[in-house]
Amino acid sequence: MSAGTGELLTSPGAVGIGANDIGVVVVSHESAGTIGECLQRLLAARDVFRIVVIDNASSDATVAIVRELCARDERLSLVVNADNVGFAAACNQGATAFAQPWIAFVNPDCYVERDTLSRLVRHARERPGAGLLGVEMVDEAGVVDPNSRRSDPSLADLLLRFGRRDDLYLGRDPALALQLVDAVSGALMLLPTGLFLRLGGFDEGYRLHVEDLDLCRRVRDGGYEVLVANDLRVVHVNGVSSRRRPLRVSWHKHRGMWRYFRKFEAPRGRSWTAPAVWVALWLHFLLGAPGLLWRARRERAQRGAAP
Under 8 Å between Cβ of 25 and 38 = no
- Strands (DSSP E) contained in 119-215 are 130-138, 178-180, 188-192
Q: Judging by DSSP bridges, how do beta strands 188-192 and 102-106 pair with one another?
A: antiparallel
Question: What number is the average pLDDT over the span 75-80?
Answer: 98
pLDDT at 207 over 90: no
Q: 150-159 in b/e burial notation, b at 16+ Cβ within 10 A?
A: bebbbbbebb
Of 25 and 256, the one with more pLDDT = 25
Under 8 Å between Cβ of 206 and 160 = no
Model's pTM, two decimal places? 0.83
Angle between helices 246-260 and 273-305 in degrees, nearest 10: 160
Residue 184: count of CB within 10 angstroms of its CB: 28
- pLDDT at residue number 305: 56
- For residue 13, name the pLDDT band (cuts at 50, 70, 90): very low
pLDDT tens for residues 275-284? 777 777 767 7
In CATH, the architecture of 7-242 is: Alpha-Beta Complex (3.90)
Segment of 18-32, 66-80, 158-172 carrying the highest mean pLDDT:
66-80
- For residue 163, name the pLDDT band (cuts at 50, 70, 90): very low
- For residue 55, name the pLDDT band (cuts at 50, 70, 90): very high
Under 8 Å between Cβ of 109 and 30 = no
- For residue 267, name the pLDDT band (cuts at 50, 70, 90): low
Of 156 and 283, the one with more pLDDT = 283
Q: Which helix (H) or strand (E) holds 76?
A: strand 76-81
**Domain positions in the chain:** 7-242, 243-305
Of 177 and 12, the one with more pLDDT = 177
Under 8 Å between Cβ of 155 and 261 = yes
